[in-house]
Structures are given as C-alpha cells and as structure tokens.
Chain A
Amino acid sequence: MTIRKNQASLTPEEKRAFVAALLELKRTGRYDRFVTTHNGFIMGDTDSGDRVGHRSPSFLPWHRRFLLEFEAALQAVDPAVALPYWDWTADRTARSSLWAADFLGGTGRARDGQVLDGPFAYATGKWEIAVRVDGRSYLRRALGTGVAQLPTRAEVDSVLAMPVYDAAPWNSSSGGFRNHLEGWRGANLHNRVHVWVGGQMATGVSPNDPVFWMHHAFIDKLWADWQALHPQSPYLPAAGTPNVVDLNDTMRPWNDVTPADMLDHRKFYTFDTEPVPAPAGAAASQR
C-alpha cells in the first residue's frame, strides 16, 4: 500500500528515488502529457460553462484522480516511490529543505527567473520546459515574490472548519469548503501557493514544476482532513446540475470515474499521519 509522506521527513534515498522517477518520466515524454492535460482543463474550465478540473466541486476529486494517475506512472518506473506532500503551513520559507539542491532546487535568479541549482535546472539538460505558454524553455521560480506569505495553519484551520462541501453556483464565486480551499474566495489557500512559487507554477502549465504534485498532494490531504472533521457532510451537488460534475457523474478525461469513486483515499493510499476522525461517534460513516 502506498504511503504518502511529508516531504520534510523523506530520507536522502527517498528523495533520490523520487527525483530519478520524475526525470525518467520526463525523458520518455510521459511527464509532458500530464502538463498538457492540466493546461487543457485549466483553459477550458469556465465559471459559466462546463467545468471539471478547476473552479468547480470536482476540483478535489479531479485532482485526486490526476495525482493517482501520475503516481502510478512514477511507480511504473520505481514501485517504491510515493507522492510526498508539502505542508506549506510548516515549511514556509525559501530556506526549507524542499528547495535544497538535493531535492527540488531553489528559487530563480532575479534577471530571468531561471532556476540554477538542483536536478531540474535547465543546465542539467534533463528538464526542458516543452509544454509552455511562452518562448522560455527553462524552469522558473520566484519564491515569495508574487505574494509574500504562504497560508498559515490558522488560515487552513478556518477553512477546514467550514461544514458545507460546496454551494451553488458551484464555481469561483461559491461559498463553502471547496472554493475557500481552492482559493477564489476568502483566505486563499491553494491559489496563493501557486502564486507564491511563481514561474511556471503561476501559469496554466503549472505541472512543469515538480512541486505541483507535492502542493496538490497536500491539498488532497486537507480534503481527507476535512472529511474526518465533518463525517456527515457529503460531496455536493448530488444530481442534476448543468455544467457541473455531480456525485455520480463521470469526469473527463477518464470518463470512467466519478467523484463518488474518489471520496475514500484509503482505497488507494494512506498518509503518514492519517486524519483523526471527529469525536462524534459517527465518524467514517460517509467514507
């Protein structure tokens, strides 16, 4: 069974294995197909039209399925690899070990944003940005430039406390847990982290930066944490909603998986720290 760990607790060997698997997916072209898929959805998902991957209730189950597919690709290279998660409420500066040269490398230089150290620096010859929105083919970052501060634990907790999963009109203007976690309203969690990293992470082709997967693995864990806190709160909407993926509708691009299939992460993996069920006694009945 796959165990997803906090990136801060990985051993040097686990870091090497994860990086090696990423580089192998990149070499074979498999990696870039994930970037293409993500960008296609981010440009196609609109508040007033069909929306599946973003700005909609299926933001969370869509990314859970997307990460599962990516993790399976990594494991086809090295079965020992699991996606780590980045708890940006704890590791919240550019000095975190996450950004060291033995893992993801650091921020970009001032002149052009280019990342110069680590396994994904352009000069290694192993990480050319091929799926891109502009002419630059090197990985870029500007840690802490687009926005100064990552979300705090208190801000996360305030969003986790929201009892309703999502609400009409089921888009970027919605109230509820999903949209506050996604970040179009309120404290702004997920969106703000993309902006804090900068470079490709701030664009539609954000999976070009490997930190994308660790950021979304943590967002995914926060969904699991929220479920444990609110075991009686279901995925919404349940049925009959135009342009939106209801509980038992299939999701593009797979067309054979529904949000209902994605609700229980423990069918696929566990976390190094599993969420503690709420003490109401009815815990896990929804899972």
Chain B
Amino acid sequence: MNKITRRQALGTTAGALTVLGLAGATAHAAVTRSRPAAPAAPTTPAGTVDEVYQGRRIRIVPASGGDDHGGHHGGHQAPGQPTVLIDGRELHVMRNADGSWISVVNHYETFSGPLPLARAAVRELQGASLVPMGGMR
C-alpha cells in the first residue's frame, strides 16, 4: 500500500469516526460511557480512539502512529491497518478493498470503520476476553 492510499485511508477513518461516533453516542446512549480521549500529545496520532463501551475499553491506534503500541508485530497484516484493542487484547482486523472493515469475530460482515467494528466485537463477545491468536499458521 503506498503512502497516498494510506493517507486516504486515515482520512476516511477519521471522518468515519467523527460521524459514527455521534451516531453511536445516540444509539447507545444508555450503555456507552465515552470518556475524553487521552490528553493531546505529539505521540497521539489523529484518529486515536479511547473509550469505554458497554463496560469494555476500546482503544484504536492508527498504524502510522509510529510509537510502541501503534505497529503490528504479527507481520501478516497489510500496512496501514490500525491496532484495535479491547481491554488491552488485540482484535485482528482487516480492511477490504472497498474501504470497509472486518474483524476475526465478525469475519463475514463488513463495517464502515474500526470503531463500529470494535463496538460490534464488544457486543459479540458478551463479556468474554479475546485470546491471543498467534498469527499466521
């Protein structure tokens, strides 16, 4: 994936997060307790998400963050993908060619961005913890 595509991906993500964040706050007002994102700092990339949803902490760090928790260590994911963490455990996610997203717990259903994908994973997990997957065979 080249840099232009990555930048476009991040732009799309940030826009989607803004819109869907508002929609999510309305749709899940009873169960969502969003809290402010981490204090702005040079190491916090745009598009970072840090919220509590249905009692689970969702963190999303864009791939271009360059800090210690922003990169993929598994080596099997395409560049330009964010790291999605639920209560500190990584959720395997993938971006489709049309810009939609899937995760390993909703692998046959597409989502418009990492945040709706992460929230769907929280609902699917019903309180269960993710387990490390060990990457590619």
Contact between B109 and A146 (Cβ–Cβ < 8 Å)?
Answer: yes
Also in contact, A44 and B137, with CB within 8 A (given A173-B98, A191-B108, A204-B92): yes
Q: Interface on chain B toward A: helix, strand, loop, or mixed SS?
A: loop
CA distance A49 to B96 in the complex (A): 11
Contact between A47 and B97 (Cβ–Cβ < 8 Å)?
Answer: yes
Nearest Cβ distance between residue A264 and chain B, in whole angstroms? Answer: 28
Question: For the complex, is A274 an interface residue (Cβ under 8 Å from B)?
Answer: no
Contact between A46 and B107 (Cβ–Cβ < 8 Å)?
Answer: no
Stretch binding the partner chain, chosen from A34-42, A98-106, A231-239: A34-42
Note all chain B residues with C-beta closer than 8 A to A125: none
Contact between B136 and A204 (Cβ–Cβ < 8 Å)?
Answer: no
Question: For the complex, is A253 an interface residue (Cβ under 8 Å from B)?
Answer: yes
Question: For the complex, is B125 an interface residue (Cβ under 8 Å from A)?
Answer: yes
Stretch binding the partner chain, chosen from A60-68, A131-139, A158-166: A131-139
Q: Mark B residues whose CB is within 8 Å of A.
A: 1, 76-78, 92, 94-98, 104-110, 124-126, 128-131, 133, 135-137
Q: Which of A39-57 contact B (CB under 8 A)?
A: 39-44, 46-49, 55
Size category of the A interface is 35 or more
Closest to B110 in A: A184
Contact between B107 and A42 (Cβ–Cβ < 8 Å)?
Answer: yes
Q: Mark A residues whose CB is within 8 Å of B.
A: 36-37, 39-44, 46-49, 55, 112-113, 132-136, 146, 169, 171-173, 183-184, 190-192, 194-195, 202-204, 206, 253
Contact between B130 and A134 (Cβ–Cβ < 8 Å)?
Answer: yes
Note all chain A residues with C-beta closer than 8 A to B98: 172-173
Also in contact, A206 and B107, with CB within 8 A (given A134-B125, A169-B97, A171-B97): yes
Contact between B104 and A173 (Cβ–Cβ < 8 Å)?
Answer: no
Contact between B76 and A43 (Cβ–Cβ < 8 Å)?
Answer: yes
Note all chain A residues with C-beta closer than 8 A to B92: 43, 133, 204
Nearest Cβ distance between residue B106 and chain A, in whole angstroms? Answer: 6
CA distance A112 to B123 in the complex (A): 11
Nearest Cβ distance between residue A89 and chain B, in whole angstroms? Answer: 18
Contact between B105 and A135 (Cβ–Cβ < 8 Å)?
Answer: no
Contact between A46 and B124 (Cβ–Cβ < 8 Å)?
Answer: no
Closest to B132 in A: A133
Note all chain B residues with C-beta closer than 8 A to A46: 77-78, 94
Also in contact, A133 and B105, with CB within 8 A (given A43-B136, A172-B97): yes
Contact between B97 and A44 (Cβ–Cβ < 8 Å)?
Answer: no
Closest to B129 in A: A135
Note all chain B residues with C-beta closer than 8 A to A44: 76, 136-137
Nearest Cβ distance between residue A174 and chain B, in whole angstroms? Answer: 9
Contact between B105 and A203 (Cβ–Cβ < 8 Å)?
Answer: yes
Contact between B1 and A48 (Cβ–Cβ < 8 Å)?
Answer: yes
Q: Which of A43, A132, A171, A191 has the most CB of B within 10 A?
A: A43
Note all chain A residues with C-beta closer than 8 A to B135: 43
List 27 contacting pairs A-B, 8 Å CB cutoff, sorted by A: A36-B137, A40-B136, A41-B137, A42-B107, A43-B76, A43-B133, A43-B136, A44-B136, A44-B137, A46-B77, A48-B1, A48-B78, A48-B97, A55-B96, A113-B126, A132-B131, A134-B105, A134-B129, A169-B97, A171-B97, A194-B107, A202-B105, A202-B124, A203-B104, A203-B106, A204-B92, A206-B107
